[in-house]
Structure 1
Amino acid sequence: MVWFDMPSPDEQDRRMQMLAEAALPRWGLVADSITLIQHEDNAVFCVTAGGQRWALRVGAANGWSVQEQRAEMDWLTDLRRAGLSVPDPTVSLSGDTVEAVDLPDLVEARPCVLLRWVPGDPPEPGVPVEVARRIGALAAELHQRGEVFASARDVARPEWGFETLFGPGSVFARTELWEVAIGHHGQQRIGAAIARLERRFSSDGARPGAWGLIHGDLHRDNILVQDGAVGLIDFDDCGTGPSLLDLAAVVESFCRRLARSEGDRTLLRAALLEGYHHLRPLPDDVDAALRDYIAVRLLTTLGFIVSSTNPAVRSWGPARIPQILEQIDRFVAQDPAASA
């Protein structure tokens, strides 16, 4: 039997629970509780034992390999040593940070990782400007550490360049998906946006310091705040790419989900950029660059929604599609020389 071809959402979750229970002995952990907290691509569980909490991540089918996830864990370990508040990988009884776990009915083993829990909650509307400034500074520090880490080794992580995101092997080449989801006219609108973005990737690829190791999915839900301190989680999409793609993810999600007015948007955006620029330079065309990379974020989110068969994604995704298309239309209509 091939898992996940037909099972109901509840059955999928039950099988993920079985995998989680099979994984924990690899770390010698006897859990008091194992609670599923997210199941989109990966399945993530909150594990409690002896008064402590961990995040157990069961990798997605056809997701990142053991080698790729081990590279992620190595970077997280380096970031922890540098004092950043990020998940702390736990070494298994075999001495590894990634364990491939299988069950009799599973087509292939799933990579599993166990991470120390990072305290805090995602920021809410009304987040203090000073906290937004700290988030920008933390993003800059993350990119600085990424440069140092990648300079000393080959990092087996994906490259988030134009070809990966929008080229022939990407979800945007699967025309049958798009025809059903948004029709021919919608595809034309997306094509116009992608054509403009190719120029951005080309110009930034030649700019010193513009590319490096990035988080890859730095939106509001992957930022945690506790008593003013800031932490980052969910490095599953980390890889090499334009640093401003991370900053664009923060700006877009904060302005959409936290700002209660245009004044809020202006203040949050300015604070994020100020915090980042305090530690790491921003390009002269930062406004136009952020506009472009926000469009990248919107398109990749759209691609994720359209291509996903996950019930959780299908529950929230359809409502986002017209919102994203409206934003893409505004992007295409805007003068490329204009500020964001």
Structure 2
Amino acid sequence: MHRENTVFRVETTEGHHALRLHRPGYHSDAALQSELDWMAMLSREGMQVPKPAAARTGNYLVMLDGAVPRKASLLSWLPGTPMGETRKPLAFHGAARTALFQNIGRQMAQMHKLTDAWTLPQGFERPKWDAEGLIGEAPFWGPFWAIEATPDDTDLLQNIRARTKTALADYLAIGADYGLIHADLVRENVLVDTDALRFIDFDDSGFGFRMFDIATTLLKNLEEPDAPALEAALLHGYTHVRPLRPADLAMLNLFVVLRSLTYLGWAHSRPDDPNIKARAERFLRVAKQVIAARMP
């Protein structure tokens, strides 16, 4: 499987595992090690996330020799089926839909809660989905406002950047809910196995706003006919485990908008992708719809 990393399903004496060959240049060695340390902690604490397997040296991260040397890691292969695919209707029906989102909210809150209580290992390093990482001069996923667009759309993106900059500054001034986040809990990264939920693919995890984590899951489900009920269910499940202040909840619309804009930055940073023009146009359409609905 090829996404940001190349992933193979391999069989070992201890069962099936995911062998990841990490994309060169995307993360530093310290950042890769930190991702593995975080997953190891969550697994020890009972969360159903990939568990890193140590090499004979005791290290989670190793170098594989070859024509193009690659850093590699080995993770437990988790059972389950992705909860859905982007741009396809969810296959769940009736009360199972809201139950699923309540469960996602509970598991996400538990992940944040465990992380808040964890002492980070020395040298811990992950990308930042903070104000600079979202709307600064060099965002983590690229400048969304620089995407090829009409003058009117460019003005819209510049305007929303200015508005979100002010809103984030105000939020930070009162003490934002901020810490380690998964940052990519989209449908493909939530595995469903009967009543069990498992989170996978921590590759984009980093330091960011907790509401951004919630917004990421919600964004990919906005076209569902019962999207408001799914949003309410996720928030209900989350706050049952970890409280959110009114000031945090008031930022949800802004973070849904910002999450939609990050995909424009992602597209802008991949000009050599032969399919990127069509994807960028789709990302822009979605972002404009989200802005109109959430930050008119």
TM-score with structure 1 length normalisation?
0.76
Give matches, 1:88-99, under 5 Å: 88-99=51-62
2:251 to 285, 289, 304: 289
Quote the RMSD (CA, aligned, Å).
2.5
Structure 2: gaps of 5 or more residues: 85-89
Distance 1:138 1:315, change over 3 A: farther
Kindly state the Cα deviation for residue 94 of structure 1 after the two structures are TM-superposed. Answer: 2.1
| Structure 1 residues 282-335: Cα deviation after superposition (integer angstroms, max 9, x where no partner) | 12145541110011111111111222257586397245234224225515862x
Give matches, 1:10-49, under 5 Å: 37=1, 39-49=2-12
| Structure 1 residues 3-51: Cα deviation after superposition (integer angstroms, max 9, x where no partner) | xxxxxxxxxxxxxxxxxxxxxxxxxxxxxxxxxx2x2322222223469
Please state whether the residue corresponding to 2:19 is helix, strand or coil: strand
1:78 to 25, 41, 53: 41
Match of residue 76 from structure 2: 116
TM-score with structure 2 length normalisation?
0.86
Match of residue 160 from structure 1: 129
User: Aligned partners of 1:281 and 1:332: how far apart in 2?
Assistant: 23
User: Aligned partners of 1:155 and 1:206: how far apart in 2?
Assistant: 26
Number of equivalences: 285
Counting aligned pairs with the same residue, the percent is 29
Distance 1:85 1:309, change over 3 A: farther
User: Aligned partners of 2:272 and 2:116: how far apart in 1?
Assistant: 35
CA contact (8 A) 2:257 2:291 kept: no
1:144 to 113, 116, 128: 113
Structure 1 residue 63 corresponds to structure 2 residue 26: yes
Structure with bigger helix share is: 1
User: Aligned partners of 2:143 and 2:31: how far apart in 1?
Assistant: 24
Kindly state the Cα deviation for residue 88 of structure 1 after the two structures are TM-superposed. Answer: 0.5
Match of residue 327 from structure 1: 289
| Structure 1 residues 140-162: Cα deviation after superposition (integer angstroms, max 9, x where no partner) | 01111111224675521122111
User: Aligned partners of 1:280 and 1:72: how far apart in 2?
Assistant: 23
Kindly state the Cα deviation for residue 247 of structure 1 after the two structures are TM-superposed. Answer: 0.5
Match of residue 270 from structure 1: 232
Distance 1:313 1:233, change over 3 A: farther
Structure 1: gaps of 5 or more residues: 1-36, 335-340
Distance 1:294 1:332, change over 3 A: closer
CA contact (8 A) 1:193 1:331 kept: no
Stretch deviating more after TM superposition (307-316 or 267-276): 307-316
Kindly state the Cα deviation for residue 75 of structure 1 after the two structures are TM-superposed. Answer: 0.7
Give matches, 1:230-241, under 5 Å: 230-241=197-208
2:143 to 166, 169, 172: 172
> What amino acid sits opposite 1:65 in the alignment?
S
User: Aligned partners of 1:218 and 1:265: how far apart in 2?
Assistant: 16
Kindly state the Cα deviation for residue 135 of structure 1 after the two structures are TM-superposed. Answer: 0.7
Match of residue 29 from structure 1: none
Please state whether the residue corresponding to 1:282 is helix, strand or coil: coil
Give matches, 1:121-132, under 5 Å: 121-124=81-84, 125=90, 126=92, 128=96, 129-132=98-101
Please state whether the residue corresponding to 2:220 is helix, strand or coil: helix
| Structure 1 residues 109-147: Cα deviation after superposition (integer angstroms, max 9, x where no partner) | 432111101111122422612221111011101111111
| Structure 1 residues 138-192: Cα deviation after superposition (integer angstroms, max 9, x where no partner) | 11011111112246755211221111222122321894xx2xx324333221111
Distance 1:323 1:134, change over 3 A: same
Distance 1:91 1:143, change over 3 A: same
Higher relative contact order, chain-length normalized (CA < 8 Å, sep 6+): 2
